[in-house]
Amino acid sequence: MEKYWELRLERCRQALEENNFGAYVAADPEGARDLVMKEILPDIGGPRISWGGSVTLAATGLVEHFRTSPEYDLIETFDASVTRDVIMERRRNALKVDLFLSGTNAVTETGMLVNLDMVGNRVGGMVFGPATVIIVAGRNKIVPGLDEAMKRIRTLAAPANAIRLGKKTPCVHTSTCSDCRSSDRICNVWTIHEKSYPKGRIKVILINQDLGL
């Protein structure tokens, strides 16, 4: 299995690279953090950093590192101590940072990123604004193509995230999507990144472990 995953991750990495993403493979979350700190961060222009919610990103410890290092200016976009209006203003400001970090809901073997968001600040940062974007993705996020990516998100990632976030949606009781009309619905904005533009703006680190939802 070790060889299988090495080969599959390398194939996916090459497909991402052909689509103009920066693409890397790491053995584990700690390896992904080292890659960011040693290979990517030295080339990034400034200290302003923010992120979109991601279980995989949390596993790397990167946000915690930036939070506790005085040389970085981290915009906190999740903060229970401030009002929703303040959070939304911070999320707008997070679109102007030097570096934006996130996970992804799916990576296709053809080298595309597919995501579904509730608010849109996570996919917003991937689409436009931050000078550099780093995406971390466990090997369980890899699917053959777009159809499988959307199916993965609808049938697994979205219901599991609704459960994780304690939403009041039908899927938290059934584990399946009923395309609900709930005000708590977390499925509002789809994005498909076919390529990175400009070349290398989005950098994807594939991690050789099952991580995130």
Among 39, 86, 178, 210, binds ligand SF4 (CB under 6 A): 178
Residue type, 172: V
Dihedral sign, Cα of residue 160, residue 163, residue 168, residue 172: positive
Among 13, 122, 185, 193, binds ligand SF4 (CB under 6 A): 185
Task: Please check whether residue 30 is in contact with residue 186, taking contact to mean a CB–CB distance below 8 angstroms.
Answer: no
* Minimum gap (Å) between residue 118 Cβ and ligand SF4: 8
**Contacts of residue 154, Cβ cutoff 8 Å, sequence gap at least 6:** 116, 177, 187
Q: Does 77 bind ligand SF4 (CB under 6 A)?
A: no
Distance in Å from the first CA to the final CA of the chain: 21
Calculate Rg over the CA atoms of the chain: 17
* Minimum gap (Å) between residue 161 Cβ and ligand SF4: 8
Among 19, 169, 196, 208, binds ligand SF4 (CB under 6 A): 169
Q: Which of residues 116-145 bind ligand SF4 (CB under 6 A)?
A: none
Interface segment toward ligand SF4; rule CB under 6 A; list 6-14, 36-44, 131-139, 185-193: 185-193
Q: Does 163 bind ligand SF4 (CB under 6 A)?
A: no
Q: Does 105 bind ligand SF4 (CB under 6 A)?
A: no
**What is the rounded CA–CA span in Å between residue 69 and residue 49?**
12
* Minimum gap (Å) between residue 182 Cβ and ligand SF4: 6
Q: Does 183 bind ligand SF4 (CB under 6 A)?
A: no
DSSP per-residue string spanning 71-82: TSEE--S--TTS
Q: Where are the beta strands (DSSP E) in 6-79?
A: 22-26, 48-51, 73-74
Q: Does 59 bind ligand SF4 (CB under 6 A)?
A: no
In a 13 Å sphere around the CA of 179, the CA atoms on its Cβ side amount to 1
- The two beta strands, 113-117 and 189-193, are antiparallel
Q: Does 188 bind ligand SF4 (CB under 6 A)?
A: no
* Minimum gap (Å) between residue 121 Cβ and ligand SF4: 17
Residues that bind ligand SF4 (CB under 6 A): 158-159, 162, 169-171, 177-180, 182, 185-187
